[in-house]
Amino acid sequence: MKPPAFDYHRPETVDEATSLLDRLVDDEVKVLAGGQSLVPLMNFRLAVPQHLVDVNGVAELAGHAVTDGVLRLGALTRHHELETSPIVRAAAPLFTAAAPYVGHVQIRSMGTLGGSLAHADPAAELPSVVLALDATLVARSVRGERRIPAADFFITHFTTALEPDELLVAVEVPVARPRGGAAFLEVAARHGDFALAGAAAAVTVDADGVVTDARIACASVAATPVRVPAAEALLRGTAADPSVIAALEAAVAAALDPTPELKTSAAYKRRTAGVLAGRAVRQAWRTAQNDLTTTRNGQAA
């Protein structure tokens, strides 16, 4: 099946793109980035835009770099870049951990960070990652720039805080602290499918291996990704021993109120998300411990 006719626009700058969105705000307009979600929706005529604004030629939206302790990722950063970039791996390893779970290689080569976040599928991996990392999402319109905390960005299924005339241009994340670790785990019906449940975790430890900071977010358990502060609080000040992990898993499950889906029940999602969160935390803590050991050995040398 093919999409109905639409007017195609290919701006070359952010200003040109936002001007188009401003001019077309009263019409049905969609922004095309990677197109891995939008194009299938258009082919099945679940999305019927009158105008398509293709931003792939906007160089300002590409690339990523660290400046003053902040990793800035352009909205056109491909999933493959998140998976393979040494800059991303060093500054925000949770992205690197989650990226391999996004679809298949072909999808990761074209799909974009900005496209995934703006699409806001609650079963997608990257929304939970930006929530766990306290990211800031940067939007532009002809009215200027707006900075939106990740906690305020996702409203409900496929709905974000972006205004119709706004373009998501970048994502900013504080650079990971020393003695830190990150992990992402999910369960899917088949490799490459959207998650039935998923969990993102990032932890930082002190010189004794005790957790000083913890971030936990779950995917595919609600209309938006879900941060779990109660579980984070349980972890701080501990060495992530088995009793703490067991309590953390229970706290995650208790904090969730998922709706059942065709493939799984609400109870399954709660239990699975809790177990995945516990495993992800344990894996992140081990990574942080390895970083601590490496730091100690380097100082001893």
CA gap 4, 24 in Å, rounded: 18
Position 301 in a domain: no
Domain boundary among 174, 202, 234: 174
pLDDT of residue 296: 57
Average pLDDT over residues 83-105: 97
- Assign 148 to helix, strand or coil: strand
Position 74 in a domain: yes
Residue 228 has pLDDT above 90, yes or no: yes
Position 59 in a domain: no
Kindly write down the DSSP assignment for every residue of 130-147, as one continuous string. Answer: HHHTT-EEEEEETTEEEE
Tens of pLDDT, residue by residue over 164-173, are 999 999 999 9
- Number of domains the chain contains: 3
* Bridge partners of residue 51, in order along the sequence: 7, 29
CB atoms under 10 Å from CB of 298, counted, come to 8
Residue 220 has pLDDT above 80, yes or no: yes
Detail the DSSP E strand segments found in 162-243. 167-174, 180-187, 197-205, 211-219, 226-227
Identify the CATH number of the domain in which residue 20 sits.
Answer: 3.30.43.10
Q: What are phi and psi of 206, to 5 degrees?
A: -90, -170
Position 1 in a domain: no
CA gap 87, 65 in Å, rounded: 7
Position 159 in a domain: yes
Residues 184 and 170 both lie in one domain: no
Domain boundary among 144, 159, 174: 174
- Give the global pTM: 0.94
Residues 105 and 159 both lie in one domain: yes
Residues 163 and 71 both lie in one domain: yes
Position 2 in a domain: no
Residues 204 and 240 both lie in one domain: yes
User: For residue 66, what is the enclosing H or E element?
Assistant: strand 64-67
By CB atoms closer than 10 A (0-12, 13-18, 19+), residue 135 is buried
Position 26 in a domain: yes
Position 28 in a domain: yes
Residues 205 and 134 both lie in one domain: no
pLDDT of residue 300: 45
Identify the CATH number of the domain in which residue 263 sits.
Answer: 3.30.390.50
Range of the domain at 36: 7-54
Contact 129, 217 (CB under 8 A): yes
Q: What are phi and psi of 155, to 5 degrees?
A: -95, -50
Residues 135 and 201 both lie in one domain: no
Q: What angle do CA 43, 44, 46 make, to 5 degrees?
A: 110
DSSP state of 120: T
Average pLDDT over residues 146-151: 98
CA gap 145, 72 in Å, rounded: 15
CA gap 160, 13 in Å, rounded: 23
Q: Which residues contact 51 (CB under 8 A, 6 or more apart)?
A: 6, 7, 8, 9, 20, 24, 27, 28, 29, 30
Alpha helical stretches, state H, the chain: 14-23, 38-43, 79-84, 86-91, 93-98, 105-110, 113-119, 126-132, 150-153, 229-235, 242-255, 266-300
Average pLDDT over residues 14-32: 96
Mean pLDDT, the chain, rounded, equals 94
Residues 156 and 185 both lie in one domain: no
Identify the CATH number of the domain in which residue 131 sits.
Answer: 3.30.465.10
